[in-house]
Amino acid sequence: MYGVPNSEHRHLRRLTTDPINGHRALALYVRYIEVIVIPSLEELAAMNRPIKFFNEMKRIGFKVIAQVFLGSTKDSVLSSMVKYYTELFPGVLFLPFNIPGFAFHRALKARKKLVKMIQDELDERRATTSVEDRKKGMVDLLMEVEGDKGEKLEDEHIIDLLLLILFAGHETTAHTIMWALIYLNHHPEMLRKAKEEQEMIIKRRSSSQKGLTLSEIKQMEYLPKVIDESLRRSNFAFAIFRKERVSFVPGYTIPKGWKVVVWHRALHMDLNIYSNPKEFLPSRWENHRFKGRTFIPFGAGSRTCPGADLAKLEIAISLRYFLLNYKLEELNPKGPITYLPLPRPADDYLARIIKLP
C-alpha cells in the first residue's frame, strides 16, 4: 500500500482491515501461529548449539505470516512460497539492473513464479465450492470481502498485499520477540512474573482443551505490558513520513503541506513523556496512560500499521511458548549493539535455546 494514492489507499484499507485484524480473523490465526511456532522452537532447542537468534526468529516469522495468509494448505505450497520469497528478497535491496547475473534480475524471475503460484492458489480456491471456516486463511477472507457497493478485491490487489505483508510482517515481529526476551533475560523477576502468568492460564483451563484461544490471550495482563515496553524501548520502525498538517507531539503545530519525519525513537525516549526512559519498566504501562500519539510503534493516522493486532498476537504466542518451555543462554552478553537502521546485537544475538526440564 506504500505509494498508493490516498483515495485508493482508503478504499483498500477499508476492504482489508477485517481480514487482517478483525476478531474472526485473529481467532483463526492463533492456530496457524501455533502450528509454526511450537515445532520451530522445539527444533531450535534440539539443535543444542549456538544460533543467531534474530535470524532464526525471522525465519520462523516468515513461515508464520505465510501460513496465516494461506491457512490450511499443502506443505509444498508453503515451502515454495518461502523458497521464491527468499530468492526475491535480496533483489529488493540491490540496484535495479534487470540483467542476467544481477540480484534484481533474479528477484524479478522469482516474483513472477511467486505471483503465478498465488494466482493458481486463488483460482483453485475459487473452483472449490466452499472452504471450511476452520481451514481458512487470510487469502480466503480477502476473497470473500465486499465493499459497500458489493465490489470485491481484485486478484492483483490480493497478490500485492501478500507480497507487502510477507515483507512487512516477519522481521518486525522477530525483532520485537528478540528484544522482549533480551529484556526479560536481564530482569529475572520480570521473567518469573511473565512465566507465572502463563502457567496460571494453563491451570485455569479444562484438561481437554488443546491449544490457546483468543480469549485466553485476552486474559493476559502482564505479557502485553512487556510487549509494549519492548516496542517503546527498541522499536523496529525508526521514522515515519507525513505531509500536511500534523501535530504528533503536544505543543507543535505543523503547517499544512510541510513534509515531516516523525522520529519514533526520540518520541519514545522523551523525558517529558516517560520517566527513566532508558529503563525497561513494563509497569509503566499500568492504566495505559501513554497511549495515543506519544506511543506510535505502529505509526499513526490513515497509514498506521494494519498488522498491529496480528503482530501483537504472534509476539504474545511466541513469547508464551518460549517462557513455558525454554530458556536462553546468551553467549555474548556484553557484545556491541548497533543502532542503524535497527537497534540490535551486532552478532544477531548469539544464544543457545535450552529446553526446560
The set of cell numbers assigned to 257 is: 503541506
300 binds ligand HEM (CB under 6 A): yes
Answer for the pair 40, 60: CB distance below 8 angstroms, yes or no.
yes
Query: Looking at beta carbons only, is 6 or 128 nearer to ligand HEM?
Result: 6
Residue from 107, 110, 194, 237 in contact with ligand HEM (CB under 6 A)? 237
| Binding of residue 69 to ligand HEM (CB under 6 A) | no
| Residue 60 in contact with ligand HEM, rule: CB under 6 A | no
HEC profile of the chain:
CCCCCHHHHHHHHHHHHHHHHCHHHHHHHHHHHHHHHHHHHHHHHHHCCCEEHHHHHHHHHHHHHHHHHHCCCCHHHHHHHHHHHHHHHHHHCCCCCCCCCCHHHHHHHHHHHHHHHHHHHHHHHHHCCCCCHHHCCHHHHHHHCCCCCCCCCCHHHHHHHHHHHHHHCCHHHHHHHHHHHHHHHHCHHHHHHHHHHHHHHHHHCCCCCCCCCHHHHHHCCHHHHHHHHHHHHCCCCCEEEEECCCCCCCCCCCCCCCEEEEEHHHHHCCCCCCCCCCCCCHHHHHHHCCCCCCCCCCCCHHHCCCCHHHHHHHHHHHHHHHHHHEEEEECCCCCCEECCCCCEECCCCEEEEEECC
- Considering only residues 1, 35, 117, 269, which one is a binding residue for ligand HEM as defined by CB under 6 A? 1
As measured in angstroms, the least distance from the Cβ of 209 to ligand HEM is 26
- Cα–Cα distance for residue pair 340/349, rounded to 1 Å: 16
311 binds ligand HEM (CB under 6 A): yes
Among 173, 198, 234, 318, binds ligand HEM (CB under 6 A): 173
Residue (20 or 353) nearer to ligand HEM, CB:
20
Contact flag: residue 248 with ligand HEM (CB under 6 A): no
Distance of CA 75 to the CA centre of its chain: 22
Q: Which stretch binds ligand HEM (CB under 6 A): 91-99, 235-243, 248-256, 347-355?
A: 235-243
We find the least distance from the C-beta atom of residue 258 to ligand HEM, in angstroms, to be 16
Among positions 45, 305, 316, 350, the unique one binding ligand HEM when judged by CB under 6 A: 305
Size of the site for ligand HEM (CB under 6 A): 26
The minimum distance between CB 183 and ligand HEM, in angstroms, equals 15
Of 72-80, 126-134, 275-283, 296-304, the window that binds ligand HEM (rule: CB under 6 A) is 296-304
Residue 166 lies near ligand HEM (rule: CB under 6 A): no
**Contact between 20 and ligand HEM per CB under 6 A:** yes
Cα distances from 255 to residues 25, 242, 251, 260, 264, in angstroms, run: 39, 12, 13, 10, 20
Query: Of 78-86, 203-211, 284-292, 302-310, which part binds ligand HEM (CB under 6 A)?
Result: 302-310
The verdict on 7 binding ligand HEM (CB under 6 A) reads: no
Q: Per CB under 6 A, which region of 150-158, 184-192, 233-241, 246-254 contacts ligand HEM?
A: 233-241
Note whether 25 binds ligand HEM by CB under 6 A.
Answer: no
Listed ranges 29-37, 84-92, 167-175, 245-253: which one lies at the site for ligand HEM (CB under 6 A): 167-175
* Distance (Å, whole) CA 330 – CA 200: 27
User: Of 19, 71, 91, 299, which lies in the binding site for ligand HEM, with binding defined by CB under 6 A?
Assistant: 299
Q: Please, what is the minimum distance in Å from the beta carbon of residue 138 to ligand HEM?
A: 8
List residues near ligand HEM by CB under 6 A. 1-2, 13, 20, 164-165, 168-169, 172-173, 176, 236-237, 240, 297-301, 303-307, 310-311
